[in-house]
Structure 1
Amino acid sequence: MNASSELENYKIQLQQVEAALIAEPDNEELIKLKEDLNEIIVLQQELVTNTPSEVLTTSSSSLSDKERLVWKVGDRCLATSKGGQKQVAVIDGISQDKVAITFANSGKKDMVRLSDLSIAPIEEKRNIFSKRENKMQ
């Protein structure tokens, strides 16, 4: 999915949220979702107008051109939280040298520099049944 079609999807989602707000104008979750979608739409519009390649790379002097990281919306990454800790986050939007992210554990949104992102650890899926089976044997 390219940046233009993602922008259209966000606009459609915003219309759906606005329609839901007509029925529930005091719903705080819908109000927050509308604000978040508006923010993402602005970032996505900047991405569409400012980035011809649809993806941006992390520029770091320690990485060669071949090793540059390529980030896109929806990627998992490690980002520094306000508390200074590296946490897993998901990229919501990319604009020049800034990235809109949502921290996976807390759900909090933030803007960070593209160059501050690093690769998230691979998430291992655990099978809770395999532990139980071992205990039963």
Structure 2
Amino acid sequence: MTTELMDVLRTLFMTAAILVLAYLFTRHVASRSASGATGRLFRRSMTILEQIPVGKDQKLLLVKVGDDCYLLGCTPGGITCLNRFTREEAERWLSAEQQSVTPAAETFEQLLRNKILRQRPDGEGEEKNGRAD
């Protein structure tokens, strides 16, 4: 009887020890990747510059990859590249971001509005009351 009890206690102890070690290992791995330990191995060349929520589980992201910026639409169904801005096109926004003189969201809004206006057919890109339709 005592041998069976000892076997059950040993099994419970080993199970608890495995669960505790798995938890500690998971926390260790998560803290290393969050603190940027993997950044030493891989250079990070992608940065999220701005996020704007546009609906439930939907947002627009402005992401810098190398010298280019991308406007991405994120939904639960996937990620879509809406536009690519070259360094020259995004230079004004990036300089405002670095200098923090102009609010970044306002500049991003202006950049997006200008891009939308350029893509519309003739005559439809006019602004009314300072806003684009």
Provide TM-score, normalisation by structure 1. Answer: 0.25
Between Structure 1 and Structure 2, the one with more helix by share is 2
Between Structure 1 and Structure 2, the one with more strand by share is 2
Which is greater in Rg? 2
